[in-house]
Amino acid sequence: MSDAIRYERVGDIAVLTAQNPPVNALGVDVRKGLLSGIERAEADGAKAVLIYGDGRTYFAGADIREFGKPMLDPGLPDLGSRIEASPLIVVSAMHGTALGGGLEIALCSHYRIAVPSAKMGLPEVNLGILPGAGGTQRLPRVAGTEAALDMITSGRPIKAPEALDKGIIDRVTEGEPREIGLAYAQELLDAGAARRAVCDMPAPEMIDFDTRYDAVLKKGRGQISPATALRSVQAACEADNFEAGLKRERELFMELMNSDQRQGMVHAFFSERAVSKLPELKGVTPRTLAQIGVIGGGTMGAGIATAALLSGLKVTMLEMTDEAAAAAKGRIEGNLQGALKRGKISQDQFDILTQQSLVLATDYAALAEADLVIEAVFEDMSVKKTVFTQLDAVCKPGAILASNTSYLDVNEIAACTSRPEDVIGLHFFSPAHIMKLLEVVVADKTAIDVVATGFALGKMLNKITVRAGVCDGFIGNRILATYRSCADQMILDGASPYQIDAAMTKFGFAMGPYAVSDLAGLDIGWASRKRKRAAGMDPRARDSVYADKLCEAGHFGQKTGKGYYVYEAGKRGGTPNPEVAALIEANRAELGITPREFTDEEITRRYMCAMVNEAAKVVGEGIARRPLDVDMTLLFGYGFPRYHGGPLKWADIQGLDGILADIKTYAQEDDYFWQPAPLLEQLVAEGRSFDDLNKGSN
């Protein structure tokens, strides 16, 4: 018997207890244990079998770490069929998260009971695959085609009471899984209940799968797993018999298992968990966080305050005037109204957050007791310095002084205080109560427990928290500046902003870079270009001025109704702004450029090569610790498609040698912009990948 499954007899019931912490993943030892447990129960005269999990959950699914490796026997589909075929009555008692292969094992059991808090679902599409142990065949049989399709293509788990309504489970009972499972199994035996196998149920009802397929494919923006999973459910309705449906599911499952998208999504799964685990923070106690200050109540500051309030922190919002403070309060209340509408908080909580947890102030003295102050004022070094000098004067010893700067030098900000060890960058993304990314920018003198507190705050606010070093733009905005610049150069050379946007949405971004600029406000890029020019640009850098002309005319994108696109009130999205082409042509003429054609493939390749090259520099210079830190930054802050895993995972999958070769080809036209990253050259020379660096750092 494997250690992962404990076997015992309680009267007529054989009890199989999973013991594979932390989530009872169905690795090979668990599968072996379940198989031999069933065989032993049948051999030693038991009349029923109870399956449940020790610790925090029933099986949370297949062991994802086994993906991409040869499958060791017994495989999950065969194990499931064997459990289902048992002549004994098999009962699963679920708690925690019965996900993927976990729910599939439960569906192979003859009866299912769960505690009310249990959640169940088939989230495989989020890993780039589909339920591969009969889930696409059994779930529609018990829940109906529509309900099953919804769960399988969305991957969303549901709570036990809903699962009961849908017929996925038979009973919901408060208690310990072992106790409620034993009682239920005994009750079934006492009542002489029959074995009940889902595979014997009639095929689910047919629907118009082709129309649905197109909709699912479109919604996935290039992600293939939900649409492929739909075809597998279709097989449940159409196949001649249950076995034939299972076989089709297996074929489609293997197609996805061998896909690049599966690699990308599994990388994302593990990386989002690894990103905040830094070796240097092990054993470091974060400072206390109960009360925070936010300076500046614009969109960003109000978003930060909202996120902090929602996580249970008390917030003092500092503004310059009473009017500005009232406006900030209005923004925060507006954000919290959103949370109220979405059911995240109750009206009572809303009242407490706005009336008790939030304090408005116009005097720095109000920040004297704050454990952490985050400034979100105008992005200008002299303004920041004024703020930090005042904070230094009023804040209590040990308070953390944080800047939400997107680009500026945190060392320089820290140097204007008497306590640079307490200064850190906390770079939120707008809207800060919604966007998942937080860059924790560690300056030269930042104390380690201040870094730990930055990560603790990220956890409280439910963010993906990434460590970044100091440089212009940190991880994300620095890489963004480079790929945006690559796009701007393609425009000078002949591409159009609309072609670039179309090519990048085809790649999987929700929006292309120019539509994003319109959304963020063209004034942001304008200010950044002016700052770079003022600091002195390298004469070899190609500068484009057509976008400046839009700004000079007062067109800042969506907020003014016009930018790269024209936005009509009440309509979603925009249409290309006809004035833009003339501005670009004038810029080309000024520079003596004869425009040429670009294919979508070339646009994508250049854009991605620029992103990967800068990302490799960011890792090589230690601004990001590991390639996965870059990948998670781009995924959670910049809309990079999850199914590609992140730019550096994408690069690994494409092949680093080909990317380096293309960069060198582009460098023949412009050897200033296209300077190959030393780390990329090194990896290619050594035949290694970015992922090798991730693994080496664990």
| Residues carrying an active site annotation | 104, 124
Q: Does 513 bind ligand T1G (CB under 6 A)?
A: no
Nearer Cβ to ligand T1G (513/645): 645
Answer whether 28's CB lies under 8 Å from 82's CB.
no
Nearer Cβ to ligand T1G (27/476): 27
Nearer Cβ to ligand T1G (11/68): 68
Least distance from ligand T1G to the Cβ atom of residue 329, Å: 34
* Angle 446-452-455 from CA coordinates, rounded to 5°: 115
In the numeric block, the tokens 């050259």 are attached to 681
Distances (CA, A) of 670 to 289, 535, 603, 660, 678: 50, 22, 16, 15, 17
Give the Cα separation of 24 and 68 in Å (integer).
Answer: 20
Q: Give phi and psi for 360, each to the nearest 5.
A: -105, 145
Nearer Cβ to ligand T1G (260/369): 260
Residue closest to 380 by CA, chosen among 360, 402, 405: 405
Answer whether 53's CB lies under 8 Å from 106's CB.
no
Answer whether 265's CB lies under 8 Å from 645's CB.
yes
Q: Does 469 bind ligand T1G (CB under 6 A)?
A: no
Task: Pick the stretch among 17-25, 436-444, 538-546, 584-592 that binds ligand T1G (CB under 6 A).
Answer: 17-25
Residue closest to 584 by CA, chosen among 600, 595, 573: 595
Nearer Cβ to ligand T1G (137/517): 137
Task: Pick the stretch among 62-70, 369-377, 459-467, 530-538 that binds ligand T1G (CB under 6 A).
Answer: 62-70
Neighbours of 279 (CB within 10 A): 8
Q: Among residues 105, 129, 230, 315, which is the contact residue for ligand T1G, using CB under 6 A?
A: 129
Q: Does 135 bind ligand T1G (CB under 6 A)?
A: yes
Q: Which of residues 252-281 bind ligand T1G (CB under 6 A)?
A: 273
Q: Give phi and psi for 313, each to the nearest 5.
A: -85, 150
Nearer Cβ to ligand T1G (63/170): 63
Q: Among residues 11, 45, 65, 533, which is the contact residue for ligand T1G, using CB under 6 A?
A: 65
Least distance from ligand T1G to the Cβ atom of residue 94, Å: 13
Side-chain half-sphere exposure of 486, counting CA atoms within 13 A: 28
What is the maximum span of the chain, computed from C-alpha positions, in angstroms?
90
Residue closest to 512 by CA, chosen among 529, 527, 489, 496: 496
Nearer Cβ to ligand T1G (455/474): 455
Instruction: Give me 695's structure tokens.
Output: 């693994």
Residue closest to 616 by CA, chosen among 644, 664, 651: 651
Least distance from ligand T1G to the Cβ atom of residue 235, Å: 15
Least distance from ligand T1G to the Cβ atom of residue 103, Å: 8
Strands 48-53 and 171-172, by their bridges, are unpaired
Q: Among residues 23, 360, 475, 612, which is the contact residue for ligand T1G, using CB under 6 A?
A: 23
Least distance from ligand T1G to the Cβ atom of residue 63, Å: 4
Q: Among residues 22, 192, 202, 343, which is the contact residue for ligand T1G, using CB under 6 A?
A: 22
Least distance from ligand T1G to the Cβ atom of residue 179, Å: 23
Distances (CA, A) of 230 to 207, 242, 356, 459: 11, 17, 49, 35
Edge-to-edge strands, sheet with 111-114: 5-10, 13-18, 48-53, 89-94, 111-114, 171-172
Least distance from ligand T1G to the Cβ atom of residue 127, Å: 6
Q: Does 249 bind ligand T1G (CB under 6 A)?
A: no
Dihedral Cα 303, 305, 309, 315, nearest 10 deg: -170
Least distance from ligand T1G to the Cβ atom of residue 460, Å: 15
Task: Pick the stretch among 22-30, 236-244, 370-378, 506-514 that binds ligand T1G (CB under 6 A).
Answer: 22-30
Size of interface with ligand T1G, in residues (CB under 6 A): 24
Q: Does 80 bind ligand T1G (CB under 6 A)?
A: no
Strands 13-18 and 48-53, by their bridges, are parallel
Q: Does 64 bind ligand T1G (CB under 6 A)?
A: yes
Nearer Cβ to ligand T1G (62/151): 62
Least distance from ligand T1G to the Cβ atom of residue 135, Å: 6
Least distance from ligand T1G to the Cβ atom of residue 186, Å: 30
Can you say whether the dihedral through the CA atoms of 410, 412, 413, 416 is positive or negative? positive
DSSP for 653-667, please give it: HH-HHHHHHHHHHHH
Instruction: Give me 624's structure tokens.
Output: 């990001």
Nearer Cβ to ligand T1G (53/525): 53
Q: Among residues 76, 492, 608, 624, which is the contact residue for ligand T1G, using CB under 6 A?
A: 76
Helix (H, G, I), strand (E, B) or coil at 398: coil
Q: Does 133 bind ligand T1G (CB under 6 A)?
A: yes
Binding mask 88-127 for ligand T1G (x = CB under 6 A): ---------x-xxx--x------------------xx--x
Q: Among residues 62, 149, 479, 515, which is the contact residue for ligand T1G, using CB under 6 A?
A: 62
Nearer Cβ to ligand T1G (125/387): 125
Instruction: Give me 171's structure tokens.
Output: 């009973």
Nearer Cβ to ligand T1G (106/503): 106
Q: Among residues 13, 25, 125, 339, which is the contact residue for ligand T1G, using CB under 6 A?
A: 25
Instruction: Give the distance from CA 689 to its chain's centroid.
Output: 23
Least distance from ligand T1G to the Cβ atom of residue 69, Å: 13
Give the Cα separation of 677 and 695 in Å (integer).
Answer: 21
Report the interface residues with ligand T1G, using CB under 6 A.
22-23, 25, 60-65, 76, 97, 99-101, 104, 123-124, 127, 129, 131-133, 135, 273
